[in-house]
Structure 1
Amino acid sequence: MTQNAVAEPENRSGSQGGEPGRLLAQRTFFAARSFPAPDAMYAAATLGAVVTERDRVTVEPHAYVTTNTYFGRFPASYWQRYTEVATCDVEAVVTGSGKLLISASDSKGDSRTAASTVVEGADHETVRLTAPIDRFVDGGALWLDIETGGERLVVEDVRWTVASAKAPRPVSVVICTHNRADYCIETLTELAEDPAVRDYVAAVHVTDQGTDTVESRERFAYVKELLGDKLRYVRQPNLGGAGGFTRGMYETLEAPGGEDAHVLLMDDDIKLESDTILRISALANSTTEPAVVGGQNLCELHPDQLFVDADIANLPKLRAGIDRTDSLSQRSMLEHNQDRRVDATHNAWWCCLIPAEVVRAIGYPLPIFFQWDDVEYGLRARGAGFFTVTLPGAGVWHQDLHWKGWDDWARYFHYRNGLITAALHHQLQPKDMFQFLLNEFMETLASMQYGLAATMIKAIEDFLDGPAGLADGGANVVQAIRMLRAEYPETHIVPAARAGVRADHMPIVRAGFEPSRPTLVMLKRLAMQYLDKPGGSAAVRAGDEHWWHVSLFRTAVVTDSSQTGVRVRRLDKKLMTRLGKQGLAVLWRLRQEGDQTVRRYHEAQPQLTSKENWERLFGGR
């Protein structure tokens, strides 16, 4: 299909597409703006000489550049699945001569040409190409390719627009922060310095729950000047991510006009590609029914790697963020593209838009401080009939979660809140959960992670104590957990050079294969530890710290996943025995009292998620 270039006035207005009835769906950039991501995530030259800038590309003669890249692709499959938009327009300002093509892929990644145009001797002319969104149900995307012959071609200000019969709904960005002021001010700066995004958002709510405040940073005044009265900065006691995000949701939805608002939640420790805000908002404004629309998680330390493409949860195993068999998690986006459309059960709140209709239908989040709050809310929305869409190409960079160790104070909230979530969504069968947690608890003891075992015990006890433990929003339990864990030496990360184990007693020993009969081996290892049989020491690399490996030694110096130091685990028979008895007792309580506890959480849920409960926690605002 060939389409002639359309010359238009040079100045194209606004962030909503430049003409009535058009919605700006995304922009094509050719290079990163501030975060040092590879420019090839935006555009890649496949032939000849090409010069890429943020919103402009100069294609020298006999060259070819493609935006078949992570940020360059238009996720056509998601637009066809969740909207009634039939076509999209690509507009660009061009100078010189060459060829522009809209290319398309299918769910298998095979490409085809959807539209093209040839320009000759253009001088800052606007061209428009139209591509149908009609053959993408199972997957596929659209992108812009540029080719030159004997002359140079400059392409800039590339915009993808779609038809829109209604005005865009106001979107309020909500950022919850706690002692990550430098991260937060960078995100605010990225947002505020993008004129299109700055004009588009109705408000930016920052809930600051820390002692190292965002407003103390020098650039805060600069951001405040750019955003003006759109910036709503609130300080409150630390109620975790659940309380910080809910405060922004509350301030948005309870304000005049909030009944039609979109609330876009963003973590404080992300690195933002500002166009992600427009992309998520555009799809949310176009869906046939209100939907939760979220962004994908890229790795901050490895910017080309995708960490999460679409989340799914397994509540009986207390696991969220599970990779599907066809997941691109941990893959380089310089080498792979997501062509197959995939579904999500929820979207984490590193970047997630929630329409007002969802809150009206299901209430506010649970006051569980953090961890599982986003999962539970997404599952609750799904149960009420709202889709969750995790949009490819709408990415933010987040701290590499696989570089975070499992053994930290947050495990308390993982277990307690995971149990609460499983209970509320009819996935907690006491007998099965008893067996699952018993296995995890035994692995923890065999691994000589006594602080983690104590953390598990406390989490299960507090779950069994019922919803009354959520009355303070989780504010008080944080310090109690930190104090509890401080009693156990192996919970502390120490410099590798000060592990306290002689070098000749600490050879690096790699892990063997997982046992074919794990239960039998587990019981044998625990018996050997009870009889005080293991001997020797070893250094264990991160990733090798499996229970069947660590339990072979009396002392294991384990590299922490963060690579900042090591943890020294030492066999302690008396401690293992005491914790083992406590753990078995609380797990038996879970088996016996589980059904009754589940009913108590179901009965309390309407009150816990009510506006009145959160107003109480906010202290009357």
Structure 2
Amino acid sequence: MQIQKLELPQGGEQEREQLYIRCLQGAYQTEEQSLKLEEKTLIRFDTYFNACSVEKWLTYTKIQDLFSQVRVKGRGILRIWNEWESPSGGIERKLLAEKQFETEAEELFEISLLDKMSTAEVQGMLYTEIETGEGQRCVLSEGGYTTSTVSERTVHLVIAICTYKRETYVARNLEIIRKKLWENPRSPLYQNIHVIVTDNGRTLEKHADKSWLTICPNKNAGGAAGFARGMAEALKDGSTTHVLLMDDDVEIKPSAIEKTYLLLALLKDEYRERIIGGAMLRSDYTFVQQESGGSYQGGRIQSIHAGMDLRRTENVLLNERNERADYNAWWYCCIPVSVIKKKGFPLPVFLHCDDVEYGLRTGTEPIRMNGICVWHDAFEHKRPSVNEYYDVRNTLIVNGLYVRGYGGRQAFRMVCRRMLVNLFRYRYKDIRLVARAVDDYLRGPGWLMQTDAEELHRELMSTGYRYTEIFPGTIPEKEDVLLTDILAGKHNSNNIDRKKLLSLNGWLLPARRGNPEPIMAGESPHCYYRKKDVWIYDPDTKLGFYSHKEMKQLFEMPGEWFRLWLKLKKEYATAQRAYQNAIAEMTSMEFWNQYLKEKGE
């Protein structure tokens, strides 16, 4: 069984090339799934997609042996290395095998690996290296890692995609799944996968259903409802073993789905109910990892291995660390059906925190592995007003359920911070959405379960800011977000410099007059310091809205804080207990069947 195949960069992937291959000297060319090495060339596959995560394969699966396979013709040297992180933090490596080859026709070389290393000492990752000397050339046509271990577990994987009026994205991903997986005889998922698309926008053609695809028109009750419907539809087929939740606007990697499937088939019994999570790589800087699992510390989300440049071998190795993750985001999250039956469905929170809550509820750490990922647009400059409402309301729900010692005082502190940051960003409507989120949370789970989520969302959308106006001046390009800042984690920060905080980020100082200045929606509050007029915009659409410093908003803030403080002090504990008592009902199949009914049904 081949557990990992050697991948070469495809057309149009030049900027991602070092995620597949590294050339230390000389030159090579890619030609129709083959790699031609010129003389005096040294290439390594110690990369994100081609290094083998041997430590994780041996930890989580039943494999008893492991082989490296390389199909080449020509002259050169083949080497297999083991590389790991030393206790001191450096990188150590050991040469496991070296073989000189000289062949006029293609020849498959297979090297047994585990007998060259003590199982107890297996660490880190394996990778292949090929070198040609003077006058030597070769062509690599195939490679990968195999095991003779046979899977005894049957896996029926269903991909559940939730979409809302993103027909182009959905069509692109479905075409990739059809060509690369369903219709590909060389794929382990050949005619052995099903896709369910939950259509919250009800814009896809129902008759587009095929033997491998089901389209489900759904009530627009948010991503949580879309994924709940996907789970429910998957469970109707009693043979389904796993549901892979996936966003509609990601760029999928077929080999990631194949690796997930093979990992599921070979898992040890003690790991059979573990979730498998995929990382998110950025769509703009396609070699930068945005997140590989997340931790939830005292009510705050911490992305694991964020801002990591995966072109660098040391980062590929660092990414192998099993740092504790509490959840995996649902851009790529594979959940066993047995877990869904035990733990239930998502909370009906529309969007944001549904994946966090589910991870905390299951209480198990997701398995993550290099190469299992999707590409997705980054979020730092996406700030629709409605997100403030859902972020605050849903965070209050999750914290009340899972954060030990969380009470009204901690909730008030969080709410004050959110309102103050919005004041610093001149987003006064968002301040009111934060306050409404508190009020609605305190209404309790009964209100949440009975509210028409679609109507509520429309109302919230009309309450917030809309990016509809065109700026007459020059707008900075999105690419002006410096890569160095992303890698250093300096972008999209809500933290305020202490010196500026003394003046409330310039609110207690005279504003600098002048023409409105364009500011990308997700920029730090620092960018608003002492500005009078601003134009806040989405860098993708180049549309925005005007806002300005209003002193009356500052004077009104203490009164709203006092109102919320009194309300939280009086009602928070009761609401918290109500959510704790209602979670089983809110996540049940019976609730969701009723919740997703359209009016009149």
TM-score > 0.5, shorter chain as reference: yes
Q: Residue 110 of structure 2 aligns with which residue? A: 128
Mapped partners of 1:36, 1:493: distance in 2: 35
Query: Per-residue CA shift, 1:44-101, capped at 9, x if unaligned?
Result: 3223231224632222333222211121111223223333434322223333333322
Q: Residue 274 of structure 2 aligns with which residue? A: 291
Q: Bigger shift: 299-308 or 33-42?
A: 33-42
Q: Residue 300 of structure 1 aligns with which residue? A: 283
1:412 aligns with 2:379: no
Aligned residue runs from structure 1 range 130-169, under 5 A: 130-132=112-114, 140-149=124-133, 150-162=135-147, 163-169=149-155
- Change in CA separation of 1:421 and 1:348 when aligned onto 2, cut-off 3 Å: same
Q: In structure 1, give the amino acid aligned to 2:248.
A: D
Aligned residue runs from structure 1 range 73-92, under 5 A: 73-92=51-70
In the alignment, which of 476, 498, 516 is matched to residue 498 of structure 2?
516
Mapped partners of 1:328, 1:358: distance in 2: 28
1:204 aligns with 2:188: no
- Change in CA separation of 1:64 and 1:244 when aligned onto 2, cut-off 3 Å: same
**CA shift at 1:190, angstroms?**
1.3
Query: Per-residue CA shift, 1:132-188, capped at 9, x if unaligned?
Result: 386798962112222234443222232322323414411111111111111111111
Mapped partners of 1:479, 1:337: distance in 2: 43
Query: Per-residue CA shift, 1:329-387, capped at 9, x if unaligned?
Result: 253535753213133211101111111221122111111111111111111112xxx33
1:359 aligns with 2:340: yes
Aligned residue runs from structure 1 range 63-78, under 5 A: 63-78=41-56
Q: In structure 2, give the amino acid aligned to 1:154.
A: V
Mapped partners of 2:378, 2:501: distance in 1: 32
Q: In structure 1, give the amino acid aligned to 2:200.
A: Q
Mapped partners of 1:84, 1:102: distance in 2: 22
1:423 aligns with 2:407: no
Q: Residue 393 of structure 1 aligns with which residue? A: 371
Query: Per-residue CA shift, 1:192-235, capped at 9, x if unaligned?
Result: 1111165164311111111443x49xxx97xx7xxx51211211
Q: Residue 215 of structure 2 aligns with which residue? A: 233
Q: In structure 2, give the amino acid aligned to 1:70.
A: Y
**CA shift at 1:608, angstroms?**
0.6
In the alignment, which of 313, 318, 325 is matched to residue 296 of structure 2?
313
- Change in CA separation of 1:543 and 1:399 when aligned onto 2, cut-off 3 Å: closer
Q: 1:364, 1:611 within 8 Å by CA — same for their partners in 2?
A: yes
RMSD (CA atoms): 3.2
Mapped partners of 2:71, 2:380: distance in 1: 42
Mapped partners of 1:545, 1:208: distance in 2: 32
- Change in CA separation of 1:498 and 1:61 when aligned onto 2, cut-off 3 Å: closer
**CA shift at 1:464, angstroms?**
0.9
Q: In structure 1, give the amino acid aligned to 2:48.
A: Y
- Change in CA separation of 1:477 and 1:401 when aligned onto 2, cut-off 3 Å: same
Q: 1:191, 1:197 within 8 Å by CA — same for their partners in 2?
A: no
Aligned residues: 559
Q: In structure 2, give the amino acid aligned to 1:495.
A: I
Q: Residue 357 of structure 2 aligns with which residue? A: 376
Q: Secondary structure at the match of 2:276?
A: strand
Q: 1:294, 1:388 within 8 Å by CA — same for their partners in 2?
A: yes
- Change in CA separation of 1:330 and 1:105 when aligned onto 2, cut-off 3 Å: closer
- Change in CA separation of 1:470 and 1:92 when aligned onto 2, cut-off 3 Å: farther
- Change in CA separation of 1:420 and 1:179 when aligned onto 2, cut-off 3 Å: same
Aligned residue runs from structure 1 range 429-508, under 5 A: 429-471=407-449, 472=451, 474-486=453-465, 491-492=466-467, 494-497=469-472
Q: Residue 187 of structure 1 aligns with which residue? A: 173
Mapped partners of 2:121, 2:556: distance in 1: 57
Q: Residue 487 of structure 2 aligns with which residue? A: none
- Change in CA separation of 1:102 and 1:281 when aligned onto 2, cut-off 3 Å: same
Q: In structure 1, give the amino acid aligned to 2:107.
A: E
Query: Can you give the 5+ residue segments of structure 1 that lack an aligned partner in the other structure?
Result: 1-16, 18-23, 500-510
Q: Residue 486 of structure 2 aligns with which residue? A: none
- Change in CA separation of 1:543 and 1:410 when aligned onto 2, cut-off 3 Å: closer
Q: Secondary structure at the match of 1:492?
A: coil
1:244 aligns with 2:244: no
Q: 1:309, 1:392 within 8 Å by CA — same for their partners in 2?
A: no
Q: In structure 1, give the amino acid aligned to 2:403.
A: H
Q: 1:304, 1:334 within 8 Å by CA — same for their partners in 2?
A: no
Q: Secondary structure at the match of 1:277?
A: helix
Q: In structure 2, give the amino acid aligned to 1:59.
A: L
**CA shift at 1:33, angstroms?**
5.7
**CA shift at 1:443, angstroms?**
3.0
Q: Residue 536 of structure 1 aligns with which residue? A: 513
- Change in CA separation of 1:323 and 1:387 when aligned onto 2, cut-off 3 Å: closer
Q: 1:81, 1:137 within 8 Å by CA — same for their partners in 2?
A: no
Q: 2:381, 2:520 within 8 Å by CA — same for their partners in 1?
A: no
Q: 2:47, 2:316 within 8 Å by CA — same for their partners in 1?
A: no
Q: Residue 11 of structure 1 aligns with which residue? A: none
Q: Residue 14 of structure 1 aligns with which residue? A: none
Q: 2:25, 2:42 within 8 Å by CA — same for their partners in 1?
A: yes
**CA shift at 1:559, angstroms?**
5.4
1:118 aligns with 2:111: no
Mapped partners of 2:107, 2:415: distance in 1: 65
**CA shift at 1:577, angstroms?**
4.4
Query: Can you give the 5+ residue segments of structure 2 that lack an aligned partner in the other structure?
Result: 475-492
In the alignment, which of 237, 249, 261 is matched to residue 269 of structure 1?
249
Q: Residue 171 of structure 1 aligns with which residue? A: 157
Q: Secondary structure at the match of 1:388?
A: coil
**Deviation >6 Å, runs of 4+:** 135-138
Mapped partners of 2:12, 2:525: distance in 1: 42
- Change in CA separation of 1:165 and 1:550 when aligned onto 2, cut-off 3 Å: closer
Q: 2:442, 2:572 within 8 Å by CA — same for their partners in 1?
A: yes
- Change in CA separation of 1:421 and 1:514 when aligned onto 2, cut-off 3 Å: closer
Mapped partners of 1:54, 1:541: distance in 2: 45
Q: 1:445, 1:580 within 8 Å by CA — same for their partners in 2?
A: no
Mapped partners of 2:37, 2:118: distance in 1: 31
Q: In structure 2, give the amino acid aligned to 1:180.
A: R
- Change in CA separation of 1:122 and 1:239 when aligned onto 2, cut-off 3 Å: farther
Mapped partners of 2:498, 2:120: distance in 1: 44
**CA shift at 1:302, angstroms?**
1.6
- Change in CA separation of 1:255 and 1:563 when aligned onto 2, cut-off 3 Å: closer
- Change in CA separation of 1:103 and 1:122 when aligned onto 2, cut-off 3 Å: farther
Mapped partners of 1:299, 1:65: distance in 2: 26
- Change in CA separation of 1:544 and 1:25 when aligned onto 2, cut-off 3 Å: closer
**CA shift at 1:481, angstroms?**
0.6
Q: Secondary structure at the match of 1:269?
A: coil
Mapped partners of 1:179, 1:604: distance in 2: 32
Q: Secondary structure at the match of 1:271?
A: coil
Taking only the aligned residue pairs, the percentage that are identical comes to: 23
Q: 1:29, 1:56 within 8 Å by CA — same for their partners in 2?
A: no
Q: Residue 342 of structure 1 aligns with which residue? A: 322
Q: Bigger shift: 153-162 or 608-617?
A: 153-162
Q: 2:155, 2:264 within 8 Å by CA — same for their partners in 1?
A: no
